[in-house]
Amino acid sequence: MERAGLLVIDPQVELLSPENPRIHDREGVIDRMVKVIDRARREGVPVVFVQHDDEPDTTMARGLPGWEFHPDIRPLETEPVISKTSADSFYRTGLVELLREQGVTRVVVIGCKTEFCVDTTSRHATSLGFDVTLLTDCHTTDGNDYLTGEQVVLHTNETLDEFGNDDHEVTVMTPTQFASTTAGCAPRQHPRSCGGAAAAWVRPGVMTGREPSRR
């Protein structure tokens, strides 16, 4: 039986700062992330936060204001926090073990930054035996010298859709599509082949319990 877990990647002050006008749709992304997290909590779905620890001389070094979670997107005391030092949320962390302990087979991904931690984590998850749902309007970035944040987001959504291997893949959908998913779609069927439905977000009663914080 498929079981979903929500992975909230790096919703940190520095990456969602109102002082950075280059961040794509900052307020909209924050609002949609909050709604997705609230829904997961209501339905008893495991919510796992990831927090990036940067080098000591940077604005996202552990303990600095930019390292903290955005005030609107904070874990509950009962929700685990995975600390990482690279773009890959699985690299030298306990994330894969945590997800497997909770019986998660599909990871729903939201967060920052699109082309680094969101992209890398989504790709690696398929190699580790997880299916992935990437929510199109729930991740963001500030772009680079060649592409705007919006262009990076659009490019990532396009290139990751159906990325994977023979057994596991990334499915990209909007939060609205995601909210209307049903349990009637077989695993590995693309939402377009399921009459607008995708593999279940959660089935009543299958997701229970949370691990203590792993800060």
Virtual CA dihedral for 92, 96, 102, 106, nearest 10 degrees? Answer: 140
Closest CA to 15 of 62, 66, 63, 49: 66
pLDDT value, residue 51? 98
Q: Which domains does the chain have, with CATH numbers?
A: 4-194 (3.40.50.850)
Residue 32 contacts residue 175 (beta carbons within 8 Å)? yes
Name beta bridge partners: 54. 61
Name beta bridge partners: 49. 8, 81
- At 106, list the tokens: 């599909």
Q: What is the pLDDT of residues 68-116, one digit of tens each?
A: 999 999 999 999 999 999 999 999 999 999 999 999 999 999 999 999 9
Q: What is the pLDDT of residues 25-58, one digit of tens each?
A: 999 999 999 999 999 999 999 999 999 999 999 9
